[in-house]
């Protein structure tokens, strides 16, 4: 069966919609994780595994559908334009980033029981950092759903805030350990949660880079000073 250019365009748009839904699913997973983490709700944390299973299922489905689309285009010698090719590549890459973000959420969920048992006292910065991580996943997926490079660039800058929060948490933990106000085990748990938040932010910046790539063709690279866009080849 021959597929028209309009059919390929519709398939790509359908994949985009499915990926946007996946982004909301991952955001819900993180919201569940951090609510359970701060409440010490072990039962709620356990539900995260099922949420992650659904993320994994959709991850595989989306990849298979992208491969099928490109296979059909190749067999039919369909001339997908550069924007369509960028769209498919973007979907594949962002799909992978979302799956990794969900994995980071599972890592946090698996620490809820230990944190509750140790009665860890959270610095306010931990809550701010967690809220920032949720906000970044929301903004990164929204930037994709709307194909909004402006919002994507805001996401790129937000990563620095999460890193700053992590550094502040580590300094606070060191001071508390020195004063005998926090055990080493409790500090370790907070350190691991901070690492996962930073990892989430890092994956979100990868999503933002892909949004910029799809909408403008520019490849974004990070230097020590700032983010730099490399214009598309002519």
pLDDT at residue number 228: 60
pLDDT-derived band at 230, boundaries 50, 70, 90: low
Would you say residue 5 has pLDDT above 80?
Answer: no
pLDDT digits (tens, 9 = 90+) for 79-96: 788 888 889 999 999 999
pLDDT-derived band at 152, boundaries 50, 70, 90: very high
Beta strand spans in the chain (E):
219-222, 227-230
Considering only CA atoms, which of 162, 171, 164 is closest in space to residue 200? 162
Would you say residue 44 has pLDDT above 50?
Answer: yes
Cβ atoms of 69 and 15 within 8 Å: the answer is yes
Flag the least confident range among 24-28, 104-108, 111-115.
111-115
pLDDT digits (tens, 9 = 90+) for 66-82: 999 999 988 887 778 88
Considering only CA atoms, which of 22, 14, 70 is closest in space to residue 207? 22
Name the phi and psi angles at 2, rounded to 5: -80, 135
What are the boundaries of each domain within the chain?
A: 5-230
Cβ atoms of 94 and 207 within 8 Å: the answer is yes
pLDDT at residue number 55: 98
Q: Please give the full DSSP string across 74-120, using - where no structure is assigned.
A: HHTT----HHHHHHHHHHHHHHHHHHHHHHHHHHHHTTHHHHHHHTP
Q: What is the pTM of this model?
A: 0.89
Would you say residue 133 has pLDDT above 90?
Answer: yes
pLDDT at residue number 76: 85
Map residue 39 onto helix, strand or coil: helix
Q: How far is CA 233 from CA 81, 82, 218, in A?
A: 15, 12, 9
Which of the listed CATH numbers 1.10.10.10, 1.20.58.220, 1.10.3720.10, 3.40.50.300 matches domain 5-230? 1.20.58.220
Q: Which long-range contacts (CB under 8 A, 24 or more apart) does 13-20 make?
A: 15/62, 15/65, 15/66, 15/69, 15/88, 15/91, 16/87, 16/91, 16/144, 16/145, 18/58, 18/61, 18/62, 18/65, 19/62, 19/91, 19/94, 19/95, 19/98, 19/144, 20/141, 20/144, 20/145
């Amino acid at each position: 069966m021959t597929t028209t250019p309009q059919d390929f365009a519709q398939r790509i748009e359908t994949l985009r919609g499915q990926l946007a839904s996946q982004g909301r699913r991952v955001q819900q997973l993180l919201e569940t994780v951090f609510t359970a983490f701060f409440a010490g709700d072990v039962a709620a944390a356990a539900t995260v595994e099922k949420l992650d299973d659904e993320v994994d299922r959709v991850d595989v489905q989306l990849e298979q559908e992208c491969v099928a689309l490109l296979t059909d285009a190749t067999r039919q010698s369909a001339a997908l334009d550069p924007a369509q090719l960028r769209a498919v590549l973007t979907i594949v890459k962002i799909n992978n980033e979302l799956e990794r973000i969900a994995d980071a959420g599972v890592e946090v969920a698996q620490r809820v029981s230990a944190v509750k048992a140790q009665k860890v006292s959270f610095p306010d910065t931990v809550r701010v950092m967690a809220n920032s991580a949720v906000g970044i996943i929301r903004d990164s997926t929204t930037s994709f759903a709307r194909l909004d490079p402006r919002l994507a660039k805001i996401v790129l800058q937000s990563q620095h805030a999460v890193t700053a929060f992590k550094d502040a948490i580590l300094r606070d933990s060191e001071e508390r350990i020195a004063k005998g106000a926090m055990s080493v085990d409790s500090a370790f748990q907070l350190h691991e949660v901070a690492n996962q938040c930073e990892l989430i932010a890092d994956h979100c910046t990868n999503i933002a880079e892909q949004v910029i790539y799809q909408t403008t063709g520019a490849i974004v690279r990070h230097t020590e000073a700032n983010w730099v866009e490399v214009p598309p080849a002519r």
